[in-house]
Amino acid sequence: MNNKTDLNDRYNPSEFEEKIYKLWESSGAFKVRIDKSKKNYVIPMPPPNVTGILHMGHGLQDTIQDLYIRYKRMKGFNVFWIPGKDHAGIATQNVVEKMLEKQGIKKEDLGRDDFVKKVWEVVEKHKDHISKQKIKIGDSCDWSKEKFTLDKDLSRAVTHAFVELYNRGFIFKGKYIVNWCPRCETALSDEEVDKITENSFLWEIRYPLADGDGSITVSTTRPETMLGDTAVAVNPQDLRYKHLVGKKVNLPLTNRVIPIIADSYVDPDFGSGAVKITPAHDPNDFDVARRHNLPSIVVIDSKGKMTPQVPQPYRGLDRDTCRERVINDLKERGYLVKTTEYTHNVGKCSRCNTTIEPSLSDQWFVDLKSISSRAREVVENGTVKIYPKRWEKIYFDWLDNIREWCISRQLWWGHRIPVFYCKNCGKQIVSESEVKRCPDCNSDNIEQDPDVLDTWFSSWLWPFSTLGWPLNTEELEQFYPADLLVSGYDILFFWIIKMVIAGTTFTGKPPFYDIYLTPLIRDKFGRKMAKSLNNGIDPIEIINKYGADALRFTLVYLSTDGQDISLDPLKFEMGRNFANKLFNAFKFCYPYLKETIEPIRYDECDLYDRWILSKLQTTVRNLDQYYDNYKLQFIASSIYNFIWHDFCDWYIESCKPFFFNSDKETANQAYVRKANILTYIMDYILKILHPLMPFITEELYQHMKSNNGNLLTIQKYPGVEEKYISDIDEKKFSFIENLIVSMRTIKAELNLHSRKDLEFFYLTKNSDEKNIIEKEKDSIKFLASIKEIKFIAKEPDSRFSSSVISDTILYLVIEDLVDKKKEIERLKKEIVKLEATKEKLSIKLNSEDFKSKAKKEIIEKTEKEYSEIEKTVEILKDKINKLT
């Protein structure tokens, strides 16, 4: 396996990523086995829609899950990342319906069985598409363990759950107002409805009192549903109408008489303050009707047409046509008082964009409230932890407002509801197995409920149905509950909380212990990524352009605890640059890397060695804490800072004199020591970076002479070697670092970057600092590219540039170095430029518009920028003074 071919000249991920994944798979590195000698670590992968394609949200969620799976695998856990896909009822059915539509075929033409067969065909074709994309990200799961929510064993779990809840009295059938799509002809959950702002009208209609003594005017946005009104409602506190409550009105265009009632749901400030109550076509009216025992009249049918319940002229009309007709008739007969323009939110079917018709129908429900108390308890008592913590409050809020869950869908694709009806005697039988005969009358005229279950009714069982529940399998015993669930917060309500309810209800245990909610990924302007805006970023395109490691690194680096990620595709360059930096560092180190990692002779180490060892070990120690607390951004940034700044910018640079100037043949002590340390650190770097950037690290590891022919992905994650952590050395080094940076800054400011012959002086009363400088003189001279640094007892007499580092003052005498006139001119130009920027900022800061509209952080940032420019100008002026 040891791949001793030469490293490529340049970092080119497309040359090795696919090859590396195959290497892992063929080695069996991701195989899941039951291993009782190890601790388990389990993550159920949120099952993507089977016909879906990968989006950036998957990119982020999969990276985070893979990060933990790889970290724990290397830490010696027996990991199981349960992969699978969701049959996604309505979404998949729609894909197939649309496909057939193009051929001029309706699903009714095929009939239920053939249509479902057709869907399976499409599903089979799509099935591996999204997994292949996930492989490109690097998902390290055992794909042979993949599950599908419509698999036989998962279907058995769904039926079992239904029957169990039914038998315990938590599932019931009832008339209910649901979101109905007249095009898809199915009930939709709230999450399947998009709220769209629409410009429409508010109509005011006069309803005459039945006793002939005046009238009451109602306000409505849906005049066509007045045909199904069963009351007029006012607020009980509304003095304008108090005397009318209890009276009756003649409902215009019909010959019905309906009551005026008082209910606090009515907003007295909305229109006239009186509203019509149409229980069958408005969820709020439905609630009002339940409180007041009002009848419901269905006036719009499942296709959006007016029913026989309405007066003759309106029957069979489309709901929109009916609206026009009703308005005309009201106008003609003098009932229409006023029409005003009005903007409001209208529910649209998220699949087909048809306006939702709230509608009364027979549906199956789960009484979530009665089975949710344990779901609250497990979070309250800390058994289940939610990261970031602020989501806990939202979790509890949702449980407080929990409602019945409508689980029936009028679709053909999904789990059939396990309820059977005897057509002979009317008996309803709920059964896990198919019913052929009626237990009461022995008739074989049995029909199964035509509806299917909401997709979430299968995915809420995911963490245990995938392991064989309700059977007591070995896998269930080993791998349940899971350790972590990673998901976007947008499905906290309709998936995550339901899984906790299901877990505690059916298994007595929470389904997982940690929940990590990822931010949502928005476009660079902060807008949601949506097809309609065409602002999505395709992860596969990013991988093709920058590599999977760049994608992974950048996404994790941008994952702060709080805000959503506003993603500019250019940000992936950062990940690519980092991979590139590591690649080049490896190439530099490669000739010095040894075949075995020898023990480090710490007592022979110089300050740079001790410092980098300390930095490395501090980083490893911190990483464990960041993993434990889901501080994702810090996982990425701490590795990044260590590799880029500490290791590449400083340590490797400091090694160069030893490697370049030493005679390799004689293998002097420092050379050997540094080669040893490079090997030791490179081995650590590849291991600690592997979970985050698996491809490049494996590729480089295959070139480590010390790899013994092994794969990195199954190596042990290195522990912390506390003995190397030294605050003193880190402090000492930090002093040198600041000193060298100051020298570089002074040189840069005076346009003397390229001068290597400069002589610096320093003045200090701190003997420790003096000792450090004297001891590290050679390295300081090398790293700062100067000729000399000398101690002086007092400030130089001639003109100088200076800088203060801790207790030490650094001087560069510039009398003969700088052309005074030219330098003053340069500084003056600089000041003019800065003053102009300052002026612009000042105008901005004083503008009322900016002060009132800009975000607090933006204002603070601008203020800071302003004061920094002010400071710099002062410094430059001071420099001019010193020169003159």
- Enumerate binding residues for Zn ion (CB under 5 A): 181, 183-184, 349, 351-352, 354, 422, 424-425, 427, 438, 440-441, 443
Spatial distance between the Cα atoms of 507 and 504, rounded to a whole number of angstroms = 6
**Residue 421 C-beta: closest distance to Zn ion, Å:** 9
Rg, Å, the chain Cα set: 36
With respect to Zn ion, which residue has the nearer C-beta, 531 or 821?
531
With respect to Zn ion, which residue has the nearer C-beta, 44 or 52?
52
Label the pairing between strands 419-422 and 428-430.
antiparallel
**Cβ pair 15, 702 in contact under 8 A:** no
**Residue 437 C-beta: closest distance to Zn ion, Å:** 8
DSSP letter string, 260-320: EEE-TTS-TTSTTSEEEE-GGG-HHHHHHHHHHT------B-TTSBB-TTS-GGGTT-BHH
Burial class (CB in 10 A: 0-12, 13-18, 19+), 477: exposed
With respect to Zn ion, which residue has the nearer C-beta, 50 or 422?
422
**Residue 428 C-beta: closest distance to Zn ion, Å:** 10
Pick from 857, 866, 730, 752: which is nearest to 812 by CA? 752
Q: What CA dihedral angle connects 332, 317, 283 and 374, to 10 degrees? A: -170
Q: What CA dihedral angle connects 364, 366, 369 and 373, to 10 degrees? A: 180
With respect to Zn ion, which residue has the nearer C-beta, 352 or 648?
352
Q: Strand, coil or helix: what is 222? A: coil
What letters, b where the CB count within 10 A reaches 16 and e where it falls short, cover 674-688? bbbbbbbbbbbbbbb
Spatial distance between the Cα atoms of 577 and 737, rounded to a whole number of angstroms = 24
Q: What CA dihedral angle connects 442, 447, 448 and 449, to 10 degrees? A: -120
Spatial distance between the Cα atoms of 456 and 265, rounded to a whole number of angstroms = 31
**Residue 286 C-beta: closest distance to Zn ion, Å:** 21
**Residue 354 C-beta: closest distance to Zn ion, Å:** 5
Residues in the chain: 884
Residue showing tokens 């494996």: 698
**Cβ pair 254, 210 in contact under 8 A:** no
With respect to Zn ion, which residue has the nearer C-beta, 3 or 355?
355
DSSP letter string, 130-177: HHHHHHHHT----GGG-EETTSHHHHHHHHHHHHHHHHTT-EEEEEEE
With respect to Zn ion, which residue has the nearer C-beta, 20 or 184?
184
With respect to Zn ion, which residue has the nearer C-beta, 440 or 874?
440
Beta bridge partners of 178: 359
**Residue 215 C-beta: closest distance to Zn ion, Å:** 39
Centre a 10 Å sphere on the Cβ of residue 647 and count the other Cβ atoms it contains.
Answer: 25
**Residue 88 C-beta: closest distance to Zn ion, Å:** 15
Burial class (CB in 10 A: 0-12, 13-18, 19+), 491: middle
With respect to Zn ion, which residue has the nearer C-beta, 377 or 440?
440
With respect to Zn ion, which residue has the nearer C-beta, 95 or 643?
95
Pick from 648, 486, 628: which is nearest to 555 by CA? 486
With respect to Zn ion, which residue has the nearer C-beta, 422 or 567?
422
**Residue 305 C-beta: closest distance to Zn ion, Å:** 16
Beta strands across the sheet bearing 808-813: 788-791, 759-764, 808-813, 800-805
**Cα separation values, 227 from 223, 619, 700, Å:** 8, 71, 74
Query: DSSP assignment, residue 503?
Result: I
With respect to Zn ion, which residue has the nearer C-beta, 298 or 356?
356
**Cβ pair 607, 773 in contact under 8 A:** no
Read off the amino acid at residue 222. Answer: R
Spatial distance between the Cα atoms of 755 and 771, rounded to a whole number of angstroms = 26
With respect to Zn ion, which residue has the nearer C-beta, 349 or 607?
349
* Structure tokens belonging to residue 444: 């074989």
**Residue 30 C-beta: closest distance to Zn ion, Å:** 40
Pick from 2, 19, 4: which is nearest to 590 by CA? 4
Return phi, psi of residue 814, to 5°. -115, 5
Beta bridge partners of 420: 429, 448
With respect to Zn ion, which residue has the nearer C-beta, 424 or 662?
424
With respect to Zn ion, which residue has the nearer C-beta, 215 or 350?
350
Residue showing tokens 């308005």: 327
With respect to Zn ion, which residue has the nearer C-beta, 7 or 352?
352
**Residue 102 C-beta: closest distance to Zn ion, Å:** 17
Chain centroid to CA 212? 62
**Cβ pair 216, 286 in contact under 8 A:** no
**Residue 855 C-beta: closest distance to Zn ion, Å:** 38
With respect to Zn ion, which residue has the nearer C-beta, 349 or 689?
349
**Residue 454 C-beta: closest distance to Zn ion, Å:** 15
**Residue 108 C-beta: closest distance to Zn ion, Å:** 16
**Residue 29 C-beta: closest distance to Zn ion, Å:** 45
* Structure tokens belonging to residue 426: 């009317």
With respect to Zn ion, which residue has the nearer C-beta, 349 or 453?
349
**Residue 422 C-beta: closest distance to Zn ion, Å:** 3
**Residue 350 C-beta: closest distance to Zn ion, Å:** 8
**Residue 438 C-beta: closest distance to Zn ion, Å:** 3
- In sequence order, the 6+-apart residues with CB closer than 8 A to the CB of 20 are 694, 695, 698, 699
Establish whether the linkage from the previous residue to 511 is cis, with ω within 30° of 0: no
With respect to Zn ion, which residue has the nearer C-beta, 206 or 319?
319
Q: Strand, coil or helix: what is 46? A: coil
**Residue 436 C-beta: closest distance to Zn ion, Å:** 12
